[in-house]
Amino acid sequence: MDKDEGLSSFAVVRRIRATLGGVRAGHAGSLDPFATGLLPVCLGRATRLVRFVAAGAKRYRARVCFGQATDTDDGTGQPLGAAAACPESSAIERALPEFLGEIDQVPPRYSAKQVGGRRAYRLARAGRPVRLAPSRVRVDELRLLGYDGKVAELACQVGPGTYIRALARDLGERLGGAAHLAALRRTGVGPFEVSAAARLDELSDRDAIIARLLEPLAALTGIPRLLVSEEEAGLLGHGRLIPCGAADEHAGAAPGPPSDGEVRCAVASLHPPTGPAGDSGLALVAVVSATPHGWRPLVVWNAGGREPPDGPGRRAIR
């Protein structure tokens, strides 16, 4: 989905669910109402794959306004403190590399993080003190695209759990002043690009939604694969482990033995063959994780490598 400004991520999911007559739906990575851009949505059985889709790298175009902090770290909040001087473009360029890699980031006060069993944003709205512990996050790209002396446009690529609002706030503080996130557009999540996404007004009926559905393997392109036999698929389908050396590493898999906790898509040749469906004749069997004792199924999708019945419950909308 290419989400419009002013809509919450849940509102988009609720609209799709209603159009499909109550089919279960979930989004892979929330966008704030003021933000626009890519919001992957999974339907029916595919909601079990949400966490794996959401784990993909997220790409953004962000507009950071210098000179003023806000209580929400974005343009929807109330100003905090006096206005500060805006930095020079060269100072921004020098500061950006300091935010690359694995960093500790304090989430915004107005966020969905839990504090004592309550959402941080609920405490903040009630005027209660909010103290959030830093989280370890990953920033792969932070590049200055343009600057008019007050508002900078940045290209960002980040890992799961990274708040662009917090990056804007911290960048302002690092430069000796203040800043907030003025606008945000998500351009990609994992293998998906917003250029291929549908707008909500294009999905006004069931047929339009079904026409946008993708095979589950398309949603999991970024996860390396294991090619398993029918016997191994049956074991995974019953929640059993298979030895790490039993399955053949498929294209995209890292060489060598897997580290504990590494995730793979277990795939099998379609049985019986169904022509050009699926991913080059492969069917998703399960998403598995490496343990010292073998590959453990996290989610079983299609035991035995047989294509499940067609319908809106087996795929994801981009």
The residue with greater pLDDT, 101 or 56, is: 101
In the predicted model, what is the mean pLDDT of residues 197-207?
91
Burial 194-219 (b: 16+ CB within 10 A, else e): beebbebeebeeeeebbebbbbbbeb
Rounded CA-CA distance 121/118 in Å is 9
Residues in the chain: 318
pLDDT above 90 coverage of the chain, percent: 56
2-192: CATH homologous superfamily? Pseudouridine synthase (3.30.2350.10)
Integer CA distances (angstroms), 262 to 56, 209, 240, in order: 14, 33, 17
- 155, with CB counted inside 10 A (0-12, 13-18, 19+), is middle
260 is catalytic: no
Pick the range with the lowest mean pLDDT from 106-120, 176-190, 277-291, 300-314. Answer: 300-314
Query: Which of these is catalytic: 2, 32, 74, 170?
Result: 32
- Looking at residue 192, its pLDDT comes to 92
Whether the pLDDT of residue 201 is over 70: the answer is yes
Instruction: Tell me which H or E stretch contains 141.
Output: strand 135-147
Q: Tell me the pLDDT tens digit for each residue of 151-180.
A: 999 999 999 999 999 999 999 999 999 999
Structure-token pair, residue 23: 């089919």
Q: Enter the pTM of the model.
A: 0.86
- Per the CB < 8 A criterion, the answer to whether 258 and 226 are in contact is no
Q: Where are the domains of the chain?
A: 2-192, 223-308
Q: Tell me the pLDDT tens digit for each residue of 234-282.
A: 899 888 999 887 555 554 455 566 788 889 999 888 755 544 444 468 8
The residue with greater pLDDT, 116 or 96, is: 96
CB atoms near residue 60 (< 10 Å): 24
Query: Which residue has tokens 């995974």?
Result: 236
The top-level CATH class assigned to 223-308 is mainly beta
The residue with greater pLDDT, 24 or 245, is: 24
Residue 286 sits at φ, ψ, to 5 deg, of: -165, 160
Kindly report whether the peptide bond that precedes residue 312 is cis, defined as omega within 30 degrees of 0.
Answer: no
